Chains A and B, each alone.
Chain A
Amino acid sequence: MEHAAVPGMIREQRLNEWIEAYSDSILRTCFLYLSDRGQAEDAVQDTWIKAWKHMDEYEKNNIANEKAWLLRIAVNTCKDYRRSAWFRHVDRSKALDELPSQLAAVEPEDRSLTLTVMELPDRYKQVILLYFFQGLTMQETADALGASQATVSRRLEKAKELLKGSLTGGAAYEG
């Protein structure tokens, strides 16, 4: 593949910077998506390979937010992983137990909420991860998912509704 628009050294430097800046963040997103650390680490590797291959596209399209672009690649990579038959047998609650020790204090409610997020249907989990967890804007989330802002907004509302319901044990949350 030719990369005439982006000289090799600049591309390498850019990828190097991205890997340093975003690997952790992408790893966590992939883990929440895939519920398996090993698979998440593989997905991160695949994300960087794809990012490298498509660096031209990044340049050509004048992409303003590199993080959103990379997360889009990561989410799509995870989607591919999710289609495998292997994925049906993942136990999400065990996946959390296999994580390295947390650096921050984890309350039981944190565990419960994290599991709830991991168990959301994909389309809601995606918006929660990108918009809430990764802090993308509505437009960036929409771009990352290849969806319209209206769709993201709708999914976000529903995801919040589901999470609020879960936090209140399914009861009405405004009493």
Chain B
Amino acid sequence: MKDKELELRIRHSLDAELSGLNTTSWQRDKYFENATGGYKVKRKLTYGLVLAIVLLLAAATAVAVALLSPKEVVEQVAVPMAQENDLNWRVNTEFSPEELAEFIRSANEIGITIDENDAIMQALRNGEGFDEEETIMEVCRQAFGGTYSFWTLEQKHWFDEMMVAIGFVDGPVWSMPGEGELSEEEAKAKLIAAIQDEFNDEMYQADYEEEMNLTDSEKFRLALDYYPDGLKDGTVWRMDAWPRGEERNDYYTAALDKDGNVISAIARTRWSPNAPEDPAPEKETVTQADAEDKNPGNPTWISLSDLDSVTADNLLERTENIYGSETDWSCETWAEVAAAAADLPAKSLEGKIVKATPWIAWREGLLTLEQAEEQAFRRTGMRIGEYNIACLIDAQPNPVWKFRLMEFSGDYRDMVVEIDAVTGELMDLDKFMTQNPVEPYYHIYTLHRTWAGLELAESGPLYLARLAVLHTFADLSFDLPQEDSIPIFDETFWQPEIDGNTVTFHCHWSNLPDYRVTLDEDGIPTEVVELPSSGTEVLPPENMPGADAIY
């Protein structure tokens, strides 16, 4: 699931769940009175009056749209309004109530209606504005008869241009095949073949009691994209094949390079029981009655992260979209990521880490993956397990194999280790609880010294010192429902005092210790010690931490 999809899903769920939770006019009056000690002047306009004004304004400024196509309504009504409402220095992302009413009225005139329960219509009824992109998207969904993923390349490319026009993205990113390039149909055929070659096997046929046939539109829905590769020059074709049917949670993805060579064919698990629905194949009409939308709880299945320009910040996600999960990448793919990141800008810490990590391909003279894996398990004492991620990173004096190891026997153990790629020596061991919510997610694919150094530079020593306490002593979980699960992060439990790269945690409770952590210039702990408590109050025994060792 991409971030934008998750964001939209969260916003939709919370908005829907809380849509009935509002303050009353009486409550707001009381809030004012209690805050100021006075009485406030009543509002002059009711929502009904606002709406009436909105509709009046809309009628007065209406564009004659009866003969326009849905795309022309977007181009001639929505986009100009979205452009005009931008301030000189900033892109305004919402239609005003008047603009929203105008756009919806224009859409209605050519037979496009939006569900009355949709948030857009609620906003309209309340005399409020609404997000420009979401509104245009919804009108297009109704017009094109399905969710974004299943629009044609041409429709996606056009939508992309509209988003460029209103300033939501910097430049068109979705591509259209040009002269001499693989055509849409050719690419589709190759992608179908790639998926079927890989997955139409005995296991699939036994599971589903039929052969995999992606060309059967009653069985599969196909989403096709064509966009720039994040790693290499050129463009990538990608197809997602979604089996129809609520009971299926599998889907399949394949990617081709611009010459039609298969890059990957991956089986994936969908994140939602409600997969996006595309229109029935024969439908091309534009009214809501004809538009198939069986998935109202998931109205915007948008791969908007793909619309972002490639940066070091999103390079891993983009690479994952083409090459599959990073846990399956080869050293060569990691090396390509490093090469691609070198010239890309980075804003986030993750982006900076990607730029700062020199992943390399394997070469003669280095331990092979199998040799390094054997060393990693042997030197950590882990026996029955597997690695979840493996990559090779250039370092001094020798390159380093980085592994995340998981042991499945006895106590479940999960470790991130660095192995000297020449000597097999254990260079770093980062032991952690899998479910520990404070672990930085990027520590599994970059050197400890790299992420810790950047963390230190970016945020100072506090976060790293807290991690060091957790790793050294315990998870310090308290029996306090709803409290932060790791109170070393809560200053009401341990008050941190920072002196250079040394952090002393003063405990509020006399029956728990203080801690002191000193970090080197790269953020690596050089000292992690318990000290007598400086607390004055006694924490009740039932609230004491479990104090289980990490492993």
Q: Are A153's CB and B23's CB within 8 A?
A: no
Assess whether A160 is in contact with B3, with CB atoms less than 8 Å apart.
yes
Chain A interface helix/strand/loop/mixed? helix
Query: Within 8 Å of chain A (Cβ to Cβ): is B71?
Result: no
Which residues on A sit within 8 Å (CB–CB) of B348? Answer: 153
State whether A167 and B1 are in contact (beta carbons under 8 Å apart), knowing that A160-B6, A172-B269, A174-B325 are contacts in the complex. yes
CA distance A31 to B441 in the complex (A): 30
Which among B250, B271, B480 has the highest number of chain A CB atoms within 10 Å? B271
Binding stretch for chain A, among B37-45, B154-162, B495-503: B37-45
Tell me the bound Cα distance from A113 to B3 in angstroms: 15
A95 to B15, CA, bound (A): 16
Cβ B440 vs Cβ A174 within 8 A: no
Give the contact stretch, choosing among B281-289, B401-409, B484-492. B484-492
Q: Is the CB of B122 within 8 A of A103?
A: yes
- Are B19 and A104 touching (Cβ within 8 A)? yes
The answer, yes or no, to whether B437 is at the interface (CB within 8 Å) is yes
Task: Let me know if A63 is at the binding interface, CB within 8 A.
Answer: no
Interface size band for A: 35 or more
Q: Give the chain A neighbours of B489 by CB distance below 8 A.
A: 123
Q: Is the CB of A28 within 8 A of B273?
A: no
Residues facing A in B425-480 (CB within 8 A) are 437-438, 440-441, 455, 458-459, 463, 480
Nearest CB of A to B388, in Å: 10
In chain A, residues 81-127, which have Cβ atoms closer than 8 Å to a Cβ of chain B?
82-83, 87-88, 90, 96, 99-107, 109-111, 113-114, 117, 121-124
A39 adjacent to chain B (CB < 8 Å): no
A175:B35 contact, CB within 8 angstroms: no
- CB contacts under 8 Å to A, within B317-376, are 320, 324-325, 348-350
Contacts A16-B32, A51-B35, A110-B297; A99 near B349 (Cβ below 8 A): no
Look across to chain B and name the residue whose beta carbon is closest to the beta carbon of A151.
Answer: B459
Cα of A83 to Cα of B492 in the assembled complex, Å: 10
CA distance A60 to B480 in the complex (A): 39
Give CA–CA (A28, B19) in the complex, Å: 9
**Which 3 A/B pairs are nearest by Cβ-Cβ distance?**
A107-B297, A100-B20, A175-B268
Chain B interface (Cβ < 8 Å from any Cβ of A)? 1, 3, 6-7, 9-23, 27-28, 30-32, 34-36, 38, 40-41, 43, 117, 119, 122, 250, 266-269, 271-274, 296-298, 320, 324-325, 348-350, 437-438, 440-441, 455, 458-459, 463, 480-486, 489, 492
Q: List 18 A-B contacts (CB under 8 A).
A: A23-B27, A27-B23, A32-B18, A49-B34, A88-B480, A99-B18, A100-B21, A104-B19, A107-B274, A109-B273, A109-B298, A121-B484, A122-B482, A133-B14, A151-B459, A151-B463, A160-B3, A174-B324
